[in-house]
Protein backbone atom coordinates (compact mmCIF):
# COMPACT_ATOMS: atom_id res chain seq x y z
CA UNK A 1 0.00 0.00 0.00
CA UNK A 2 1.36 3.40 -0.98
CA UNK A 3 1.56 5.62 2.10
CA UNK A 4 2.80 9.22 1.83
CA UNK A 5 4.67 9.98 5.07
CA UNK A 6 2.26 12.74 6.13
CA UNK A 7 -0.68 10.29 5.89
CA UNK A 8 0.96 7.34 7.69
CA UNK A 9 -1.00 6.30 10.78
CA UNK A 10 1.26 5.22 13.64
CA UNK A 11 -1.03 5.75 16.64
CA UNK A 12 -1.67 2.30 18.10
CA UNK A 13 -4.85 3.41 19.80
CA UNK A 14 -6.24 4.80 16.53
CA UNK A 15 -5.36 1.64 14.61
CA UNK A 16 -7.12 -0.44 17.26
CA UNK A 17 -10.12 1.93 17.16
CA UNK A 18 -10.52 1.55 13.40
CA UNK A 19 -10.44 -2.24 13.66
CA UNK A 20 -12.93 -2.44 16.52
CA UNK A 21 -15.39 0.13 15.17
CA UNK A 22 -15.27 -1.22 11.60
CA UNK A 23 -14.96 -4.97 12.26
CA UNK A 24 -16.04 -6.27 8.85
CA UNK A 25 -12.61 -7.09 7.44
CA UNK A 26 -11.53 -8.35 4.04
CA UNK A 27 -9.39 -11.47 4.51
CA UNK A 28 -7.00 -11.84 1.58
CA UNK A 29 -5.34 -15.22 1.01
CA UNK A 30 -3.23 -16.66 -1.77
CA UNK A 31 -4.93 -20.00 -2.41
CA UNK A 32 -4.66 -22.70 -5.07
CA UNK A 33 -6.61 -20.55 -7.54
CA UNK A 34 -4.68 -17.39 -6.71
CA UNK A 35 -5.70 -14.41 -4.64
CA UNK A 36 -9.06 -14.64 -2.92
CA UNK A 37 -10.93 -12.29 -0.59
CA UNK A 38 -13.54 -13.09 2.07
CA UNK A 39 -15.61 -10.52 3.93
CA UNK A 40 -15.74 -11.52 7.59
CA UNK A 41 -16.60 -9.79 10.89
CA UNK A 42 -13.60 -10.09 13.21
CA UNK A 43 -13.13 -9.84 16.93
CA UNK A 44 -9.86 -8.11 17.85
CA UNK A 45 -8.07 -9.47 20.91
CA UNK A 46 -5.47 -6.82 21.73
CA UNK A 47 -4.11 -8.79 24.69
CA UNK A 48 -3.08 -11.82 22.62
CA UNK A 49 0.61 -11.83 21.69
CA UNK A 50 2.80 -8.84 20.91
CA UNK A 51 0.39 -7.19 18.46
CA UNK A 52 -2.88 -8.96 19.22
CA UNK A 53 -4.92 -11.44 17.22
CA UNK A 54 -8.05 -11.55 15.08
CA UNK A 55 -10.75 -14.13 15.76
CA UNK A 56 -13.58 -15.11 13.43
CA UNK A 57 -15.53 -17.97 11.94
CA UNK A 58 -16.54 -18.97 8.45
CA UNK A 59 -19.04 -21.40 6.97
CA UNK A 60 -17.79 -24.97 6.89
CA UNK A 61 -18.78 -25.03 3.21
CA UNK A 62 -16.35 -22.19 2.53
CA UNK A 63 -13.30 -23.82 0.89
CA UNK A 64 -10.98 -21.24 2.44
CA UNK A 65 -10.25 -23.34 5.52
CA UNK A 66 -9.40 -26.43 3.46
CA UNK A 67 -7.39 -24.57 0.83
CA UNK A 68 -5.31 -22.85 3.52
CA UNK A 69 -3.01 -24.22 6.19
CA UNK A 70 -1.69 -23.11 9.55
CA UNK A 71 1.09 -20.58 9.16
CA UNK A 72 -0.03 -19.15 5.82
CA UNK A 73 0.67 -15.44 5.39
CA UNK A 74 -2.56 -13.48 5.14
CA UNK A 75 -3.72 -9.88 5.13
CA UNK A 76 -6.94 -8.41 6.51
CA UNK A 77 -8.14 -4.99 5.34
CA UNK A 78 -10.27 -2.81 7.61
CA UNK A 79 -11.75 0.30 6.03
CA UNK A 80 -12.60 3.09 8.43
CA UNK A 81 -14.37 6.33 7.69
CA UNK A 82 -14.25 7.86 4.20
CA UNK A 83 -15.71 10.89 2.47
CA UNK A 84 -15.57 12.86 -0.75
CA UNK A 85 -14.00 16.32 -0.37
CA UNK A 86 -15.23 19.15 -2.59
CA UNK A 87 -12.80 21.95 -3.53
CA UNK A 88 -15.59 24.39 -2.64
CA UNK A 89 -14.98 23.64 1.05
CA UNK A 90 -11.46 25.10 0.93
CA UNK A 91 -11.50 28.86 1.64
CA UNK A 92 -8.30 29.21 -0.39
CA UNK A 93 -10.06 27.85 -3.48
CA UNK A 94 -12.23 30.95 -3.67
CA UNK A 95 -9.13 33.14 -3.60
CA UNK A 96 -6.62 31.31 -5.77
CA UNK A 97 -8.68 28.62 -7.61
CA UNK A 98 -5.92 26.04 -7.09
CA UNK A 99 -7.70 23.14 -5.41
CA UNK A 100 -9.08 19.89 -6.78
CA UNK A 101 -11.45 17.21 -5.44
CA UNK A 102 -10.07 14.43 -3.28
CA UNK A 103 -11.20 11.58 -1.06
CA UNK A 104 -10.42 11.32 2.64
CA UNK A 105 -10.23 7.87 4.21
CA UNK A 106 -8.76 5.64 6.89
CA UNK A 107 -7.57 2.10 6.18
CA UNK A 108 -5.71 -0.51 8.22
CA UNK A 109 -3.93 -3.51 6.72
CA UNK A 110 -3.27 -6.31 9.20
CA UNK A 111 -0.53 -8.79 8.28
CA UNK A 112 -0.24 -12.08 10.11
CA UNK A 113 -0.26 -15.85 10.19
CA UNK A 114 -3.45 -17.85 9.72
CA UNK A 115 -4.52 -20.67 12.01
CA UNK A 116 -7.51 -22.93 11.37
CA UNK A 117 -9.43 -23.66 14.60
CA UNK A 118 -11.88 -26.52 14.10
CA UNK A 119 -12.76 -27.10 17.73
CA UNK A 120 -15.99 -26.42 19.56
CA UNK A 121 -14.46 -24.67 22.57
CA UNK A 122 -12.81 -22.05 20.37
CA UNK A 123 -15.96 -21.57 18.30
CA UNK A 124 -18.14 -21.05 21.35
CA UNK A 125 -15.70 -18.44 22.64
CA UNK A 126 -15.59 -16.57 19.33
CA UNK A 127 -19.35 -16.61 18.81
CA UNK A 128 -19.92 -15.47 22.39
CA UNK A 129 -17.44 -12.60 22.04
CA UNK A 130 -18.84 -11.42 18.71
CA UNK A 131 -22.41 -11.69 19.94
CA UNK A 132 -21.74 -9.86 23.20
CA UNK A 133 -19.98 -7.00 21.43
CA UNK A 134 -22.46 -6.43 18.64
CA UNK A 135 -25.65 -7.04 20.59
CA UNK A 136 -24.46 -4.28 22.94
CA UNK A 137 -23.72 -1.95 20.03
CA UNK A 138 -27.11 -2.59 18.47
CA UNK A 139 -28.78 -1.20 21.60
CA UNK A 140 -30.81 -4.28 22.43
CA UNK A 141 -32.81 -3.95 25.64
CA UNK A 142 -32.30 -7.67 26.22
CA UNK A 143 -29.17 -8.72 24.28
CA UNK A 144 -29.36 -12.11 22.57
CA UNK A 145 -27.05 -14.83 23.85
CA UNK A 146 -26.51 -18.43 22.88
CA UNK A 147 -28.35 -19.61 25.97
CA UNK A 148 -31.56 -18.13 24.53
CA UNK A 149 -31.73 -20.99 22.00
CA UNK A 150 -32.08 -24.71 22.52
CA UNK A 151 -28.68 -26.40 23.04
CA UNK A 152 -29.29 -28.82 20.18
CA UNK A 153 -29.91 -25.96 17.78
CA UNK A 154 -26.73 -24.15 18.83
CA UNK A 155 -24.78 -27.39 18.49
CA UNK A 156 -25.97 -27.73 14.88
CA UNK A 157 -25.08 -24.13 14.11
CA UNK A 158 -21.60 -24.53 15.58
CA UNK A 159 -21.06 -27.72 13.59
CA UNK A 160 -21.69 -25.71 10.40
CA UNK A 161 -18.82 -23.27 10.98
CA UNK A 162 -15.04 -23.36 11.34
CA UNK A 163 -12.95 -20.97 13.40
CA UNK A 164 -9.98 -18.95 12.19
CA UNK A 165 -7.37 -17.08 14.19
CA UNK A 166 -4.79 -14.66 12.83
CA UNK A 167 -1.67 -13.97 14.85
CA UNK A 168 -0.87 -10.36 14.00
CA UNK A 169 2.69 -9.58 12.98
CA UNK A 170 2.36 -5.95 11.90
CA UNK A 171 0.00 -3.18 10.90
CA UNK A 172 0.19 -0.72 8.03
CA UNK A 173 -2.30 2.11 8.23
CA UNK A 174 -3.31 5.30 6.47
CA UNK A 175 -5.26 8.28 7.74
CA UNK A 176 -5.61 10.53 4.69
CA UNK A 177 -7.37 13.47 6.30
CA UNK A 178 -6.05 16.67 4.70
CA UNK A 179 -3.13 16.87 7.16
CA UNK A 180 -1.01 18.59 4.48
CA UNK A 181 -3.48 21.44 4.04
CA UNK A 182 -3.52 24.78 5.86
CA UNK A 183 -5.62 24.94 8.98
CA UNK A 184 -8.35 27.10 7.49
CA UNK A 185 -8.77 24.68 4.58
CA UNK A 186 -8.87 21.67 6.92
CA UNK A 187 -11.52 23.34 9.06
CA UNK A 188 -13.46 24.26 5.94
CA UNK A 189 -13.65 20.58 5.02
CA UNK A 190 -14.67 19.68 8.57
CA UNK A 191 -17.56 22.15 8.36
CA UNK A 192 -18.55 20.85 4.92
CA UNK A 193 -18.66 17.26 6.16
CA UNK A 194 -20.60 18.24 9.27
CA UNK A 195 -23.11 20.00 7.07
CA UNK A 196 -23.74 16.70 5.29
CA UNK A 197 -24.02 14.77 8.54
CA UNK A 198 -20.73 12.95 7.94
CA UNK A 199 -19.64 13.49 11.51
CA UNK A 200 -17.36 10.44 11.74
CA UNK A 201 -15.18 11.74 8.93
CA UNK A 202 -15.22 15.24 10.37
CA UNK A 203 -14.21 13.98 13.83
CA UNK A 204 -11.40 11.88 12.36
CA UNK A 205 -10.04 15.03 10.70
CA UNK A 206 -10.16 16.94 13.97
CA UNK A 207 -8.25 14.15 15.71
CA UNK A 208 -5.63 13.68 12.97
CA UNK A 209 -1.97 14.29 13.73
CA UNK A 210 -0.75 17.31 11.77
CA UNK A 211 2.84 16.91 10.51
CA UNK A 212 5.28 19.73 11.32
CA UNK A 213 5.99 22.25 8.57
CA UNK A 214 9.18 21.38 6.69
Give the Cα separation of 214 and 211 in Å (integer): 9
- What pLDDT score does 211 carry? 83
Residue 70: φ, ψ to 5°: -55, 135
pTM: 0.94
CATH 3.20.20.150, domain 5-80+103-178, yes or no: no
Residue of 213, 173, 187 whose CA lies nearest to 17: 173
* Conformational region of residue 78, where left means phi above 0, alpha means psi within -120 to 50, and beta covers everything else: beta
Listed by start position, the domains of the chain span 5-80+103-178
10-residue mean pLDDT series, the chain (214 residues) = 95 97 97 93 95 97 95 98 97 88 98 97 96 94 94 96 98 97 96 97 95 75
Amino acid sequence: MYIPPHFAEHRTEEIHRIITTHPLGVLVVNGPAGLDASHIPFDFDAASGEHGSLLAHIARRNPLWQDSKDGDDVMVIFRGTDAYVSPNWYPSKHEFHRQVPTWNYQVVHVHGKLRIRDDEKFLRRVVARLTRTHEARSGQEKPWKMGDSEPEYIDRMLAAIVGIEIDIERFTAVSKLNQHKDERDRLGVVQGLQGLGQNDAAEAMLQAVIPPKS
